Structure 1
Amino acid sequence: MSRYRRATVPGASYFFTVVSFRRRPVLTDERVRAALRAAILITRKTHPFAIDAWVLLPDHLHCIWTLPEGDADFGVRWNLIKRLTSSALPPDLVPSQRSSS
């Protein structure tokens, strides 16, 4: 298993790049964008964060978040967003194979 070196500074701003499974251009599909938007709203209710910037491209996204003071757990937020987005998608948009990471 990979051992990533990640910064964990409470209340800091973080830059992320997230790529779709096998770089499929699914982010052009309105159903995916709607599911992603809903997942972000739900996640922010229980695990708040500020969105400083967001760029959505066909097969990946870039964003900058600022976490609340005393909080450095961006991983739980991404876990929720990814899980909620995937679970809201119709079967034709859910990959048949899951990545191992």
Structure 2
Amino acid sequence: MRVGFSIMKEIHKKTPELAASDYGLKDEEFARMINLIERQGYIERVLRAGDQMSLKPARLTHKGLIFLQENGHLEMNYPRLREELKEWVRVDKLLYSNEAEDDE
């Protein structure tokens, strides 16, 4: 949930290009998350060209804005620096991993 929340928040703030590495994700995982939140109607206008994707023109839908408001409790400890995002989303990974090992 933190990755989706953060992506939507950063899109809303018009943060320059987000990348999988900002979250400690593989490119495929990041692309799947973008596709998921787009299909679910939280974001729109993701630019695609071949296998490349840009979030620069992306924006939140009304549903996405409501999601940010309803999950505002995540704002309390949201990182101020982009470099801290990876550690912040790691909390979800630890909570939901069931102690599964990374395949890195």
TM range (shorter): 0.3 to 0.5
Higher strand share: 1
Higher helix share: 2
TM-score, length-normalised on structure 2?
A: 0.32
Q: Kindly indicate whether structure 1 or structure 2 has the higher relative contact order, using CA contacts under 8 Å at least 6 residues apart.
A: 1
TM-score, length-normalised on structure 1?
A: 0.33
